[in-house]
Amino acid sequence: MALKQYLVQKLEQRLSPQQIQLMKLLQVPTMELDQRIKQEIEENPALEEGAEEIEDEFDNEDDFDNEDDFENDEKEFDISDYIDEEGSDYKTKVNNTSKDDEERVIPLSGEQSFQEKLTEQLHLLYLDEHQFMIADMLIGNLDESGYLNREIDALVDDLAFSANIQTTEKEIEEVLSVIQELDPAGVGARDLQECLLIQINRKQDGDITRYTAKVILEQFFEEFTKKHYDKILKKLEIEDQDLKEAIAEILKLNPKPGGSMKESSKNHQQIIPDFMITEFEGRLELTLNGRNAPELKVSREYEQMLRTYADGAKTSKSDKDAVLFVKQKLDGAKWFIDAIKQRQNTLLFTMNAIMNYQKKYFLTGDETNLRPMILKDIAEIVSLDISTISRVANSKYVQTGYGIFALKYFFSESLSTDSGEEVSTREVKKILSEAIEAEKKKTPLTDEKLMDLLKEKGYNIARRTVAKYREQLNIPVARLRKEL
């Protein structure tokens, strides 16, 4: 089959580099915007911080009447200092160090990992080299919660093939029992029951409540997890109060001992709101965080440099390259400043639409006053694409008189009541949350009872929808909410 060439003409819509830059800046939160601006300033020397001057001295022809100014500027800036006509780059490199100079490296501090802290404790124990290697391998196989999720026979094979260590399942279990004595209590367990038993065994001091808790974990763990308290009361022949105290003791134990170390060393990021909404005599005022409106300007030196070399009518390749380089940097600086300004306007325009749409909520702070709102609703108001609204709402926060909220918090689906009124699903979730909070924990409300309660209030919702909302609120089923 012969190859043939065809000439095809077609129309395509593509985003310009400036539009792509604006889209990327829109989804950047306030905390990252500072870093993005600093990065741009480092990469583009034609961009500077500071307020733009009112008078543009380089756009006025009268400012260049003095020919001495041209000569002085050319003397101050020599393009040959930056571009080597021979193509060498040795002039741009500087080496101010010698072989005799001492190289000093600044160490970076970092938190110890969970496994490293356990290995430190291993060095304090009396273990021979064989046992230490087994223990080190076991610690390396612990997950983030501190559990050993691998079978012992598989670990025997791993030691034989990867480390050439011959051992037995019994020897590994003996070393594992040593690891289970390390801190925090519960590490090295193979399941939740073993983890809790390790912790409760360390607490045994003759107290009857802790002993009862130990018996429950040893003999009635399945009944305890399923909250079949009646069976436990009957088999142990104890009173309700005794069981309640024993369960309270169990609930003090940590189901994820390894995770506790990780959380303690975790850095919590501070939220900086992008918008502030204040209420004054029934009127709402919206302001943009000052960090979203930095003062940037185009470098005057680069503008003068371009003007000088463009008017010089120099035709050498190095001068043409210099003019092209300076022009690209100036264009890039102007595009970036325009993109920042468009970002400010888009953020304010979109947030103002959200504020007016949810005005009743921002005035009262009552969650039930939130109107159903989706991205399409705001997109139609501001006449922007839905993807643009999504970028604005992503990772952005607003400070109100009732707290700091993510913009996504105000978006929710709609639900029709018996009267035909459109309400937000968030309102239904709040009613569910309040009903579950006020229920009798000894006989918690099932999903069917919650469905009936909502129907009484005019919300015609199926049971599976109630279950979906309950799961979205991270609320367990009625059986798991049961308390004595």
Which pLDDT belongs to residue 195? 94
Q: Residue written as tokens 């500072």?
A: 34
DSSP state for residue 148 in the 8-state scheme:
B
- Dist CA 343 CA 394 (whole Å): 14
The CA distance from 484 to 476, in Å, is: 17
**What are 440-445's contacts with CB under 8 Å, separation 24+?**
441/481, 441/482, 441/483, 442/482, 442/483, 442/484, 443/482, 444/478, 444/479, 444/481, 444/482, 445/478
- For residue 261, the model assigns a pLDDT of 54
Query: What is the CATH architecture assignment of 414-481?
Result: Orthogonal Bundle (1.10)
Q: Give the model's pLDDT for residue 280.
A: 86
pLDDT, one tens digit for every residue, the chain (484 residues): 578 888 888 777 676 777 777 777 777 777 777 788 888 888 888 888 776 655 444 444 444 344 444 444 444 444 444 334 444 444 334 444 444 444 444 444 456 777 888 899 988 988 899 999 999 999 989 988 899 999 999 999 988 888 888 999 999 999 999 999 998 899 999 999 999 999 999 999 889 999 999 999 999 999 998 888 889 999 998 998 999 999 999 999 999 888 755 544 444 557 788 899 998 888 899 988 877 667 788 877 777 777 776 666 555 677 677 778 778 888 888 888 888 888 888 889 999 999 999 999 899 888 878 888 888 999 999 998 888 888 888 888 999 988 899 888 888 877 767 666 667 787 888 888 888 888 888 888 898 989 888 888 888 888 888 888 888 888 988 888 887 6
Omega before 184 within 30 of 0, i.e. cis: yes
- The answer to whether the CB of 302 falls within 8 A of the CB of 6 is no
d(CA 198, CA 181): 8
Give the separation between CA 223 and CA 235, rounded to whole angstroms. 11
DSSP string, 207-267: -HHHHHHHHHHHH-HHHHHTT-HHHHHHHHT--HHHHHHHHHHHHTS-S-HHHHHHHHTPP
Q: For residue 247, report the phi and psi dihedrals to the nearest 5 degrees.
A: -65, -40
User: Which residue, among 400, 396, 382, has the nearest Cα to 345 in the 3D structure?
Assistant: 382
Per-residue three-class SS string for 251-279: HCCCCCHHHHHHHHCCCCCCCCCCEEEEE
Do 51 and 331 contact (CB within 8 A), yes or no? no
Report how far residue 409's alpha carbon sits from residue 130's, in angstroms, rounded to the nearest whole number. Answer: 56
For residue 41, give the nearest of 310, 305, 302 by alpha carbon: 302
**354 vs 381: CA distance, rounded Å:** 9
367: Cβ–Cβ under 8 A, 6 or more apart, which residues?
361, 426, 427, 430
Query: Which of 120, 140, 149 shows the shortest CA–CA distance to 256?
Result: 149
Distance CA 407, CA 29 (A): 12
Quote the pLDDT of residue 13: 66
Q: What CA–CA distance (Å, rounded) separates 161 from 173?
A: 19
C-alpha span between 26 and 33 (Å, rounded): 10
Q: Distance (Å, rounded) from C-alpha 289 to C-alpha 347?
A: 11
87 neighbors 325 (Cβ within 8 angstroms) = no
The predicted structure's pLDDT at residue 281: 83
In angstroms, how far is CA 127 from the centroid of its own chain?
A: 42
Would you state the pLDDT for residue 428? 84
Contact between 284 and 355 (Cβ < 8 Å): yes
Structure tokens at 233: 């009361």
In terms of Cα–Cα distance, which of 244, 228, 368, 296 is closest to 37?
296
Domain chopping of the chain, boundaries = 114-264, 275-410, 414-481
Q: How many CB atoms lie within 10 A of CB 185?
A: 20
Residue pair 147/155 in contact (Cβ under 8 Å)? The answer is no
Tokens 């130990």 sit at which residue?
Answer: 214
Encode burial over 28-44: b for 16+ CB neighbours within 10 A, e otherwise: bbbeebeeebeebbeeb
Instruction: For 222-249, give one letter per residue: b (16+ CB within 10 A) or e.
Output: eebeebebeebeeebebeeeebebbbeb
